[in-house]
Amino acid sequence: MSAPQHLPVGREAGYPDPDPGRSLTERPRHPVLSFERAGLTFPTGTTALKDIDFDVLPGEFVTVVGPSGCGKSTLLRVASGLQTITDGDVRVATEKIGYVFQDATLLPWRSVRRNVELLAEIAGVPAAERAQRAADAIDLVGLTGFEQHYPRALSGGMRMRVSLARSLVRDPQLFLFDEPFGALDEITRERLNDELSSIFSLRRFTGLFITHSVAEAVYLGTRVIVMSGRPGTIRADIRIPESHPRDPDFRFSKEFAEVTSQVAHHLREGHSA
């Protein structure tokens, strides 16, 4: 495995290896993403984030739930480098970042295959290699056979699979998800949750996943972070010791019911705070 590349974000000028003398296997695991008392006040005076303090370690899949307008998307934009914080620090230890939004943002004049190849094409990956990577990613999201279809001929769930495949082609180390399945019906959403859990267990990227759904957060997360209403602060950080890929029956287990009620409780408390 190659050493992580470093991307300065916010007020952080770099992310030097704190222990360059030891091999990667000897070193403790360093966070892929780290928020240190991070805050963001927009020029309008709106404080969207306050005292955000957490690390995301390699191979974690952290889900974030919180009331509407609490700053979840802003948190993700900060992690991606699109938005700069005004207080504290944010560190991101990789430049290989994947981003999936609620809107699949596909190019309507490109086929599935050519949409999936897009980011690799922009990055200058040679044609044969990007065709192979696209075929692998299309296979991973279960769209083999649909390569020549155009977005208008796909369902919402299939479009989201294409969006996922497009990011997978870049083999991201950090994968950011902004409520990707929020517009889908319940059954499609559950199926995509199952597939994402399988993809996560195969590719082992590090994930940060924003959602409004407590059930989705608990089903997918290795950790669930609960945010309070605006300004967004962290109310709870709950570990889910269940391995990936998740067994669909996990949804009907006693453990699942206990954690979802715990998360819902923190969410309600944060809402009224």
Ligand X SMILES: Nc1ncnc2c1ncn2[C@@H]1O[C@H](COP(=O)(O)OP(=O)(O)OP(=O)(O)O)[C@@H](O)[C@H]1O
The least distance separating ligand X from the CB of residue 211, rounded to whole angstroms, comes to: 9
DSSP one-letter string for 127-143: HHHHHHHHHHHHHHTT-
From the CB of 183, what's the least distance to ligand X, in Å? 12
Compare residues 4 and 10 and give the one whose CB is closer to ligand X.
10
Instruction: Encode 12-43: b = buried (16+ Cβ within 10 Å), e = exposed.
Output: beebeeeeeeeeeeeeeebbbbbbbebbbeee
C-beta closer to ligand X: residue 40 or 168: 40
Residue type, 107: L
| List of E strands, the chain | 33-41, 47-56, 61-65, 87-92, 97-100, 174-178, 206-211, 223-227, 234-239
> 191 by DSSP, 3-state: which?
helix
Q: Which two tokens stand for residue 98?
A: 């994947």
Shortest approach of ligand X to residue 7 CB, angstroms? 21
Of residues 56 and 65, the one with the C-beta less far from ligand X: 65
Shorter beta-carbon distance to ligand X: residue 138 or 210: 210
Residue (69 or 145) nearer to ligand X, CB: 69
Point out which residues bind ligand X (CB under 6 A): 42, 44, 46, 48, 66, 68-74, 230
Is the CB of residue 223 less than 8 Å from the CB of residue 240? yes
User: Closest approach of Cβ 228 to ligand X, in Å?
Assistant: 11
Residue 66 C-beta: closest distance to ligand X, Å: 6
